Amino acid sequence: MNHLWTPWRMAYIKGEKKPIAGCLFCNKVNEDDDAEQVVYRSKYVYVTLNLYPYNSGHLMVVPYQHAATQEDLPVEALTDMMLTINQALAALRKVYNPPAFNLGANLGQAAGAGIAEHFHFHIVPRWPGDANFMSVVGETRVIPDTIDNSYRALKSAWQELFGNESQ
């Protein structure tokens, strides 16, 4: 028998967390960083943890501007996004020391975008064997760190590496 523990869902089950109205990413813009796991904010983008990660430390870099594709973003936002991605890589290396990363975006629902209406960029740390028998045969993904631990560690590392500077 497989057991998959998902304690973060209890608030939703108890009705303490209501379904989100509007755009999830736009809603995070004015919310508390700790409540929303926002690791960093710059002038045009912010960095947040993926609540349904592929691996520990799975980050998303999200523009403040609501746009379905990067083609709709100004060059300043695109530049800020890429510089912020570099900082995210450094913070992830400091916290988890992954030997590899998957970087990318899914444009449109057919490409696998869970939130197709608001462009965002994924940064997924990778390790040898992280797609082991549990994922391949057992159809169960093992995430060794909690979202809260990842958030605290990455926020601290970001502060240590870059202070409060924005691009």
pLDDT value for 18? 60
pLDDT value for 14? 75
Domains of the chain: residue spans and CATH = 25-162 (3.30.428.10)
pLDDT tens digit sequence for 25-70: 999 888 889 989 999 999 999 999 998 888 899 999 999 999 999 9
Rounded Cα distance, 153 and 155, in Å: 6
Rounded Cα distance, 26 and 166, in Å: 20
> Strands of 121-126's sheet, edge to edge?
38-41, 45-49, 59-63, 121-126, 100-104
Q: What positions carry a catalytic annotation?
A: 120
pLDDT tens digit sequence for 97-129: 999 999 999 988 888 778 889 999 999 999 887
pLDDT value for 47? 97
pLDDT value for 131? 66
Whether the CB-CB separation of 75 and 36 falls below 8 Å is answered with no
pLDDT value at 139 more than 70 = no
pTM (two decimals): 0.83
Mean pLDDT across the chain, nearest whole number? 86
